Amino acid sequence: METVVSGIRPTGKLHLGNYFGAVKNFLKMQKEYNCYFFIADYHSLTTHPTPGDLHGNVKQVLAEYLACGLDPEAATIYIQSDVPEVAELTLLMNMNAYLGELERTTSFKDKARKQPENVNAGLLTYPVLMAADILIHRAAKVPVGKDQEQNLEMTRKFAGRFNRIYNQEYFNIPQSFNYGEELVKIPGLDGSGKMGKSEGNGLYLADDEKTIRKKVMKAVTDQGPTEPNSVMPEPVRNLYTLLEVVSTPDTVEYFTEKFNSCEIRYGDLKKQLAEDIVKFNAPLRERILDISADAAYLQKVVNMGKEKAQASAAKTVKEVREIIGFKPF
Ligand code: TYM
């Protein structure tokens, strides 16, 4: 059975981008593949969380994974830092990752521009840590959103390079995966770009009704179309993209027709969108609260995941050490 690996950084609550870009596929894949889904807490250190925030955020994402329906019996659900073998594999892979290619990645350049006061080495080698996450279980498939495409490309590069240097077909060359479709990009509410945790444009799974309605009603739009069948401007297109993921096809068709015939009232569109997001969130929100309060269950899940993930990781690191040439005396 093919192996699947994916992770999410614990830097706050999960938003609809995380859900429709990643978690939705996790739910299906856990029934069909050998899955490892983890919480990328090492990765989150690039933004310097306080010790209290770090633990709280990990707990929140774990509860949210479980509330969404990730099944700890079917998939291995674990916390990245519970598997320090990942750090060793990162160190080994770093030896064949080159400064030029790391500096050229879009996410590094973006972060360096946005937080010039904190361009740490962890940001630079982020793609190597991500490659180690994936290669440590020798994954074939990686369910992610569109924003992770370049990181996946780096993983393929590092895996292929390792295989070539040591003249072995050891690592799979992992592919990004979305059930035969394009990778998803869920937009934010601020008119441009993707929904993200740090952008302040996100709708969270744990948001309550009032918060959702308030955020959606404030979303950026424009004056409305003046000619029939005109091209949708990006902010409006974004609202329709959100509608497509949470509403029925009939609803999407109804509002598309309204736009095309210049009869659209954005207030109505937003009300409907908010309504459907509230409907989508309500059961999740309740389960998140229940599961967060069940410390014994969370602990059980974490222990189970740690054991399974460590067994797989330790095997890979042992084999990689042998391939590289470490030998016992
Ligand atoms: P992160 O934590 O930013 O996001 C987690 C997952 O959610 C997807 N995602 C989106 N998909 C569509 N539209 C959006 N607006 C959107 N925002 C987020 C991401 O594509 C991702 O699948 N580097 C990764 C975490 C990571 C990882 C890994 C992933 C670390 N190691 C190994 C896969 C395999 C990240 O920062 O994702």
141 is catalytic: no
Which residue has the CA at smallest separation from atom 36 of ligand 1?
A: 9
Q: Is the CB of 183 under 6 A from ligand 1?
A: no
Q: Whose CA is nearest to atom 20 of ligand 1?
A: 145
Domain boundaries, the chain: 3-183+295-324, 209-289
pLDDT in tens, 19-76: 999 999 999 999 999 999 999 999 999 999 999 899 999 999 999 999 999 999 999 9
Q: What confidence score (pLDDT) does residue 74 get?
A: 98
Q: 3-183+295-324, what's its fold?
A: Rossmann fold (3.40.50)
pLDDT score at 163:
98
Q: pLDDT of 219-268, one tens digit each?
A: 999 889 999 999 999 999 999 999 999 999 999 999 999 999 999 999 99
Asked whether 273 lines ligand 1 (CB < 6 A), one says no
Sign of the dihedral through C-alpha 31, 32, 34, 38: negative
Assess whether 215 carries a catalytic annotation. no
Q: Is the CB of 82 under 6 A from ligand 1?
A: no
pLDDT digits (tens, 9 = 90+) for 120-149: 999 999 999 999 999 999 999 999 999 999
- Pocket of ligand 1 contains residue 134 by CB under 6 Å: yes
229 alpha carbon to ligand 1 midpoint, in Å? 35
Q: 201 with 195: CB under 8 angstroms?
A: yes
Matching CATH topology for 3-183+295-324 and 209-289? no
Confidence at residue 198, expressed as pLDDT on a 0 to 100 scale: 73
Please give the DSSP secondary-structure letter assigned to residue 37. E
Tokens of 149: 């495409």
User: CATH number of 209-289: 1.10.240.10, 2.60.40.180, 1.10.1840.10, 3.30.70.1400?
Assistant: 1.10.240.10
What pLDDT does 12 receive?
87
Q: Is the CB of 144 within 6 Å of ligand 1? A: yes
CA 261 to chain centre: 37
What does the alpha-carbon distance between residue 100 and residue 294 come to, in Å, rounded to a whole number?
47
What's the confidence (pLDDT) of residue 200?
78
d(CA 257, CA 183): 27
pLDDT of residue 180: 87
Structure confidence at residue 211 (pLDDT) = 96
Give the per-residue pLDDT at 192: 81
**In this predicted model, what pLDDT tens digit does every residue of 284-314 receive, in sequence order?**
999 999 999 999 999 999 999 999 999 999 9
In angstroms, the Cα distances linking 204 to 13, 42, 82, 279 are: 6, 22, 26, 13
Q: Is 180 helix (H, G, I), strand (E, B) or coil?
A: coil
Distance between first and last Cα of the chain: 37
Across residues 314-322, what is the average pLDDT?
Answer: 98
Rounded CA separation 296/309 (Å): 20
Per the annotation, the verdict on 197 as an active-site residue is yes
Closest Cα to residue 320, out of 80, 140, 136? 136
Encode 231-265: b = buried (16+ Cβ within 10 Å), e = exposed.
Answer: ebeebbebbbbbbebbbeeebbeebeebbeeeebe
Give the model confidence (pLDDT) of 266-284 as tens digits.
999 999 999 999 999 999 9
As a whole number, mean pLDDT of residues 80-96 equals 98
Neighbour count for residue 94 (Cβ, 10 Å): 16
Ligand 1: centre distance to CA 18 (Å): 7
Q: Which residues pair with 3 in a beta bridge?
A: 34
Say what the pLDDT of residue 21 is.
97
CA 231, 203, 43, 159 torsion-angle sign = negative
For residue 179, report the distance from its CA to the centre of ligand 1, in Å. Answer: 17
Contact between 15 and 205 under an 8 Å Cβ cutoff? The reply is: yes
Active site residue: 13, 24, 59, 111, which one? 111
The pLDDT-based confidence of 103 (bands split at 50, 70, 90) is very high
Distances (CA, A) of 220 to 33, 165, 214, 240: 40, 51, 12, 12
Size (the chain), residues: 329
